[in-house]
Chains A and B, each alone.
Chain A
Amino acid sequence: MSIPLLSTLIFFPVLGGLSLLIVPRQQIATIRLMALLISLIEFLLCLPALLLFDKTTYLMQFQEHHPWIKALNINYALGIDGISVLFLLLTALIIVLSILVSWESITHKVQEFFVALLVLEGAMMGVFCATDFFLFYIFWEAMLIPMFLIIGVWGGPKRIYATVKFFLYTLVGSLLMLVGIILLYQNGGHTFDILQLAGQPYSLKLQLILFWAFFAAFAVKVPMWPVHTWLPDAHTEAPAAGSVILAGVLIKMGAYGFLRFSLPILPDATQQMLLPMLILSVIAIVYGAIICLAQTDLKRLIAYSSVSHMGFVTLGLFALNQRGLEGGILQMINHGVVTGALFLAIGMIYERTHTREIVAYGGLASTMPVFAGFFLLFTLAAVGLPGTNGFIGEFLILLGGFERLPWTAVIAASGLILGAWYMLWLYQRIFFNEIKESMRGLVELNLREILTLLPMVLLIFWIGLYPNALLGFLHVSVGHLLDQVNGVGLAGTLLVPGLIPPP
Chain B
Amino acid sequence: MPASLLAIPLLPLASFVLTLLLGKRWGTRAHWLPIITVLISFGCALAAFFRVRSGEIINQDIYIWIQSGNLTVSFGFLVDQLTAVMLIVVTSISALVHIYSVGYMKGEDGYYRFFAYLSLFTFSMLMLVLGNNFLQLFFGWEAVGLSSYLLIGFYYEKKSAADAGKKAFIVNRFGDFGFILGLFLIFTQFGSLHYQEVFSRVGALDGQTISLFGSQINLATMIALLLFCGAIGKSAQIPLHIWLPDAMEGPTPVSALIHAATMVTAGVFLVARCNPIFALSPFALNLITVLGAVTALFAATIALVQTDIKRVVAYSTVSQLAYMFIGCGVGAYSAGIFHLFTHAFFKALLFLGCGSVILGMHHEQDVRSMGGLKPYMPITYWTFLLASLSISGVPGLAGFFSKDEILLMAFNTELGAGKFAWAIGTLVAFMTAFYSFRLFFLIFHGEFRGTDHQRHHLQESPLVVTGPLMLLAVGAVTAGWFGIPAILGGDNHWAHFLEPVLGHPHIHVSGTVEALLMGGSILAGVCGIALAFYMYRLKPHLPTLLAERMAFVHRLLSNKYYIDELYNNVLIQPTLAFSRRVLLRIVDIGCIEGVVNGIPRSIGVLSEKMRRIQDGQVSHYLAWMGGGALVLIVVLLARI
Which residues of chain B from 444 to 487 have a CB within 8 Å of any chain A CB?
A: none
Question: Which one of B258-266, B574-582, B625-633 is at the interface?
Answer: B574-582
A391 cross-chain contacts in B, Cβ below 8 A: 142
Which residues of chain A from 404 to 451 have a CB within 8 Å of any chain B CB?
A: 406, 409-410, 413-414, 416-417, 420-421, 424-425, 428, 431-435
Pick the most buried of B69, B575, B593: most chain A CB atoms within 10 A of its CB: B69
Pick the most buried of B67, B139, B583: most chain A CB atoms within 10 A of its CB: B583
Which residues of chain B from 127 to 160 have a CB within 8 Å of any chain A CB?
A: 135, 138-139, 141-143, 146, 149, 153, 156-157, 159
Choose among A326, A432, A465 the residue that contacts B162 (Cβ–Cβ < 8 A).
Answer: A432
Question: Which one of B169-177, B282-290, B338-346, B383-391 is at the interface?
Answer: B169-177
Any B CB within 8 A of the CB of A323: yes
Interface size of B in residues (CB-CB distance below 8 Å): 49
A424 cross-chain contacts in B, Cβ below 8 A: 149, 166, 169-170
Nearest chain A CB to B153 CB, angstrom units: 6
Known: A168-B600, A409-B184, A417-B173. A465 touches B579 (CB 8 A): no
A168 cross-chain contacts in B, Cβ below 8 A: 600
Choose among B135, B143, B170, B593 the residue that contacts A421 (Cβ–Cβ < 8 A).
Answer: B170
Any A CB within 8 A of the CB of B71: yes
Q: Are B583 and A294 in contact (CB under 8 A)?
A: yes
> A292 CA to B584 CA in the complex, in Å?
9
Any B CB within 8 A of the CB of A112: no
Q: Dominant SS at the B interface?
A: helix
Q: Are B65 and A291 in contact (CB under 8 A)?
A: no
A466 cross-chain contacts in B, Cβ below 8 A: 63, 65
Any A CB within 8 A of the CB of B561: no
Chain A residue at minimum C-beta to C-beta distance from B576: A293
Q: Are A471 and B67 in contact (CB under 8 A)?
A: yes
B153 cross-chain contacts in A, Cβ below 8 A: 432
Which residues of chain B from 175 to 192 have a CB within 8 Å of any chain A CB?
A: 176-177, 180-181, 184, 187-188
> A209 CA to B578 CA in the complex, in Å?
36
Q: Are A398 and B180 in contact (CB under 8 A)?
A: yes
B166 cross-chain contacts in A, Cβ below 8 A: 424-425, 428
B135 cross-chain contacts in A, Cβ below 8 A: 386, 395
Q: Are A387 and B143 in contact (CB under 8 A)?
A: yes
Pick the most buried of A435, A468, A475: most chain B CB atoms within 10 A of its CB: A468
Any A CB within 8 A of the CB of B618: no
Known: A323-B71, A385-B143, A386-B143. A467 touches B65 (CB 8 A): yes
Known: A229-B588, A432-B157. A416 touches B173 (CB 8 A): yes
Nearest chain B CB to A371 CB, angstrom units: 14
Nearest chain A CB to B134 CB, angstrom units: 11
Choose among B69, B170, B588, B596 the residue that contacts A291 (Cβ–Cβ < 8 A).
Answer: B588
B159 cross-chain contacts in A, Cβ below 8 A: 432-434
Q: Are A468 and B66 in contact (CB under 8 A)?
A: yes
Any B CB within 8 A of the CB of A169: yes
B71 cross-chain contacts in A, Cβ below 8 A: 323, 396, 399
Q: Are A396 and B169 in contact (CB under 8 A)?
A: no
B513 cross-chain contacts in A, Cβ below 8 A: none
Q: Are A402 and B188 in contact (CB under 8 A)?
A: yes
Q: Are B177 and A380 in contact (CB under 8 A)?
A: no
Nearest chain A CB to B124 CB, angstrom units: 9
Known: A226-B592, A434-B159. A321 touches B576 (CB 8 A): no
Any A CB within 8 A of the CB of B364: no
Binding site for A on B (CB under 8 A): 20, 63-69, 71, 135, 138-139, 141-143, 146, 149, 153, 156-157, 159, 162-163, 166, 169-170, 173-174, 176-177, 180-181, 184, 187-188, 575-576, 578-580, 583-584, 587-588, 591-593, 596, 600
A-B contact pairs, 13 of them (CB 8 A): A229-B596, A290-B575, A291-B579, A293-B580, A294-B576, A395-B135, A403-B184, A406-B184, A410-B181, A421-B170, A428-B162, A432-B156, A475-B68
Knowing that A294-B584, A396-B66 touch, tell me 8 more A-B residue pairs with CB under 8 angstroms. A229-B593, A294-B576, A294-B580, A323-B71, A326-B68, A421-B170, A425-B166, A467-B65
Binding site for B on A (CB under 8 A): 165, 168-169, 226-230, 287, 290-294, 321-323, 326-327, 363, 365-366, 373, 380, 385-387, 391-392, 395-396, 398-399, 402-403, 406, 409-410, 413-414, 416-417, 420-421, 424-425, 428, 431-435, 465-468, 471, 475
